[in-house]
Amino acid sequence: MNLLSVTAEIFPLVKTGGLADVAGSLPKVLKSHGIRTRTLIPGYASVIEALEAATPVARYDYLFGEEATLLAGRAAGLELFVLDAPGFFYRSGGPYTDEHGVDYPDNWKRFAAFSLVASQIAGGLVQHWRPDIIHAHDWHAALSLVYAKYAEDVPIPRVLTVHNIAFQGQFPAHLFSELGLPDEAYSIDGVEYYGDLGYLKGGLQAADAITVVSPTYAREIMTPTFGMGLEGVVNARHQDVVGIVNGIDVDVWDPSIDPYIEYSYSARTPLRRLPNREALLELFGLPHTRGPVFASINRLTWQKGMDLLAAVVDEIVAMDGRLIVHGNGDADIEYAFLDAARRFPHHVAMRLGYEEQIAHKIHAGADAMLVPSRFEPCGLTQLYALRYGCVPIVARTGGLSETIIDANVAALQAQAATGVQFSPVDTEGLRHALRRALKLFRHRRVWESLQRQGMKTDSSWRHSAAKYAELYGDLTATDMRLAG
Ligand SMILES: Nc1ncnc2c1ncn2[C@@H]1O[C@H](COP(=O)(O)OP(=O)(O)O[C@H]2O[C@H](CO)[C@@H](O)[C@H](O)[C@H]2O)[C@@H](O)[C@H]1O
């Protein structure tokens, strides 16, 4: 089976978050189910530079006003289609924002162009390669399903994955006439969204199946608290919604062969992990401690609850713990951590930005990973932490609640616990979780059992890739029945 995956990010070529990790790792595992994935990705500079054996397969003189070439090629073991449209994608900022973090004003057009090309590939644009399924990720690609639905010559099933319903791609209605969609697409069944254009909304309506990155989040987004205005649409489509929890790339995240960490270790040799802790403290200029070393690698945003963490730094200082924060995001949260690091130089260290190598070192060296998200569709950081013996302390929400087993009495007795969950997700809840973690940390045997169970947890794509494969199989079988 041939699968066309459509995504604005893919690891290791371009990444702003978890979407890239998923889009980059799932194809490898789908291969063992006989599914051959080709991924369409925008031609950002980093992608074009990495592309090997690039062959032009289609040319556009005027794609939403820009010249463009569709390239087929490979990079980092991935089979790709790349939309090389320099006017849209060769820019000095990030994939969606300029150097100052401001959204590009033509994002509506950049991702409409990208999506239109995706729908054309789905319709057979490329000689000798026809997909059996089109699978779009998040709002940037969602419009491809809308184009495919309203085109007469795209007869394949359409899948949409929602990684985060907070990002919807909402634009003014007057742009509809520029999209080249039939008038009927500006309706409740199409892209009309509270009098605006909604790309994700359109994708939700056009998809034959909607996958959400955890079963809990799939239920949550049917409620006003988490649905962010789209709960009505998700409810209306509930029969076609399925939650499939994310897996991780267990080759990229493997402490026994990780090139970024100084001392390799595995579940069988946990003691070998210890020198990584010392190396991490040294890297961040923090003194040795017998207290716990907490870390958080995150976008510094309200969603991720990082303001809550900044507000409880004193609790960590009081227990002579250490806090290492790596990430960037909202200016006031960045400031709060920089300020904490200035006030408590022996206890708090902060490294702005995001570097993959640093993330690996932190997972290998910290005692516990803090994930205090207010909502979390799935979350990957806690899965990487499990695999590295870094005990996750997570908010009880979305995918966090179903991937971490809380260290309650029963789970501890059964030696099944892998971390700490907390609720409510506020500063008091987080303080309480930190105190619980400290108690567990002081019981060496209990803490080691948490680490061991975590490292034994199978967070690979094995189970979830099988679910995607089954879904694709069902959709193509239904499609053939309808056609026949
Ligand atoms: N400041 C930063 N800049 C760049 N990268 C950073 C970063 N901070 C952390 N990262 C990295 O990005 C990834 C974060 O992935 P998550 O899944 O935890 O959250 P994210 O909100 O990005 O993804 C969304 O999509 C994924 C995939 O479906 C869901 O798991 C998740 O719940 C949903 O919010 C990790 O690889 C992490 O190391």
- DSSP notation for 459-484: -BSHHHHHHHHHHHHHHHHHHHHHH-
Q: Where are the beta strands (DSSP E) in 319-398?
A: 322-327, 348-352, 368-371, 391-395
Collapse the DSSP code of 119 into the 3-class scheme (helix H, G, I; strand E, B; otherwise coil) and give the result: helix
Instruction: Consult the annotation and say whether 304 binds a ligand.
Output: no
Q: How far is the CA of 191 from the centre of ligand 1 (A)?
A: 27
Q: From atom 8 of ligand 1, which residue's Cα is the shortest distance away? A: 298
Measured from the CA of 329, which atom of ligand 1 is nearest?
Answer: 1
Mean pLDDT computed over every residue of the chain: 97
Residues of the chain with CATH 3.40.50.2000: 2-247+462-483, 270-456
* Distant-in-sequence, close-in-space partners of 119: CB < 8 Å, separation ≥ 6: 134, 144, 145, 147, 148, 151, 154
Pocket test for ligand 1, best of 16, 220, 299 (most atoms within 8 A of CB): 299
Question: CA-to-CA distance for 177 and 186, rounded, in angstroms?
Answer: 9
Residue 253 carries which side chain, given as an amino acid letter? W
How many angstroms separate the alpha carbon of residue 100 from the centre of ligand 1? 20
Residue nearest to atom 6 of ligand 1 (CA): 17
Q: Tell the residue nearest (CA) to atom 36 of ligand 1.
A: 18
How far apart are the CA of 163 and the centre of ligand 1, in A?
10
Tokens of 197: 């254009």
Q: Does the model's ipTM exceed the 0.85 cut?
A: yes
* Cα distances (Å, whole numbers) of residue 95 to 15, 76, 153, 281: 9, 19, 30, 33
State which of 9, 26, 46, 163 you would mutate to test the pocket of ligand 1, scoring each by most atoms of that ligand within 8 A of its C-beta: 163
How far is residue 418's CA from residue 195's CA, in Å, rounded to a whole number?
Answer: 46
What's the distance, CA 132 to chain centroid? 25
Query: How many whole angstroms from 389 Cα to the centroid of ligand 1?
Result: 19
Residue 334 token pair: 């960045």
Atom of ligand 1 nearest to the CA of 161: 28
Look at residue 359 in the predicted model and tell me its pLDDT.
98
CA of 380 to the centre of ligand 1 (A): 6
**Cα–Cα distance, 189 to 201 (Å, whole number):** 9
Probe target for ligand 1 pocket from 164, 167, 356, with the most ligand atoms within 8 Å of CB: 164
CATH class of 2-247+462-483: alpha beta
Q: Which residues line ligand 1 (CB under 6 A)?
A: 16-19, 21-22, 163-164, 213, 246, 297-299, 327-328, 354, 359, 376-381, 399
Amino acid at 316: I
Question: Which of these ranges, 19-28, 87-96, 303-312, 472-481, has the smallest mean pLDDT?
Answer: 472-481
pLDDT of residue 270: 86
**Nearest residue (CA) to ligand 1, atom 5:** 17
441 Cβ neighbours under 8 A, 6+ residues apart: 291, 292, 367, 368, 447
Q: Which residue's CA is the closest to the ligand 1 atom numbered 15?
A: 18
Q: Is the pLDDT of residue 481 over 70?
A: no
Q: What pLDDT is attached to residue 86?
A: 98
Please tell me the distance between residue 166's alpha carbon and the centre of ligand 1 in angstroms: 14
pLDDT at residue 449, as a whole number? 97
How many angstroms separate the CA atoms of 69 and 479, rounded?
31
Omega within 30 of 0 (cis) for the link into 86: no
The pLDDT value recorded for residue 360 is 98
Take atom 26 of ligand 1 and give the residue whose Cα is closest: 18
Bridge partners, residue 391, by sequence: 368
164 C-alpha to ligand 1 centroid (Å): 10
Write down the residue that tokens 């955890």 correspond to: 214
Q: Which ligand 1 atom sits closest to the C-alpha of 304? A: 21
For residue range 111-151, what is the model confidence (pLDDT) as tens digits? 999 999 999 999 999 999 999 999 999 999 999 999 999 99
Read off the amino acid at residue 414. Answer: A
Q: Cα(14) to centroid of ligand 1, in Å?
A: 13
- Please count the helices (runs of H) and the strands (runs of E) in the chain: 20, 18
Please enumerate in sequence order all residues whose Cβ is within 8 A of that of 332, keeping only pairs 6 or more positions apart, or say none: 307
The DSSP H or E segment spanning 74 is strand 66-75
- Please determine, for residue 484, whether its predicted confidence score (pLDDT) is greater than 70: no
Q: Give the atom of ligand 1 at the shortest distance from the alpha carbon of 382.
A: 18
Phi, then psi, of 266 in degrees rounded to 5: -150, 180
Between CA 175 and CA 45 the distance in angstroms is 27
- pTM for the predicted model, two decimal places: 0.97
pLDDT tens digits, 277-318: 999 999 999 999 999 999 999 999 999 999 999 999 999 999
Indicate the top mutation candidate among 302, 324, 381, 394 to test ligand 1's pocket, ranked by most ligand atoms within 8 A of CB: 381
Ligand 1 atom at shortest distance from the alpha carbon of 299: 1
DSSP state of 194: T
Look at residue 108 and tell me whether its pLDDT is greater than 90: yes
**Measured distance CA(300)–CA(308) in Å, rounded:** 11
Nearest to 135 by CA among 248, 221, 26: 26
Q: Which atom of ligand 1 is nearest to the CA of 11?
A: 36
pLDDT, one tens digit per residue, over 192-235 is: 999 999 999 999 999 999 999 999 999 999 999 999 999 999 99
| Amino acid 439: pLDDT | 98
User: Whole-angstrom Cα distance, residue 26 to residue 23?
Assistant: 6
Cα separation, 391 vs 438, in Å, equals: 12
Ligand 1 centre to CA of 302 (Å) is 14
- Please tell me the distance between residue 391's alpha carbon and the centre of ligand 1 in angstroms: 18
Position in ligand 1 atom list of the atom nearest CA 213: 28
**Residue nearest ligand 1's atom 31 by CA:** 379
- Closest atom, ligand 1, to C-alpha of 399: 32
Phi, psi of 295 (to 5 degrees): -140, 160
* Residue 434 tokens, joined: 């930190």
What is the position in ligand 1's atom list of the atom closest to the CA of 16?
4
140 vs 238: CA distance, rounded Å: 22
Answer CATH for 270-456 from 2.40.50.100, 3.40.50.10490, 3.40.50.2000, 3.40.50.11030: 3.40.50.2000
How far, in whole angstroms, is CA 363 from its chain's centroid?
A: 17
Q: Residue 251 Cα, ligand 1 centroid: separation in angstroms?
A: 18
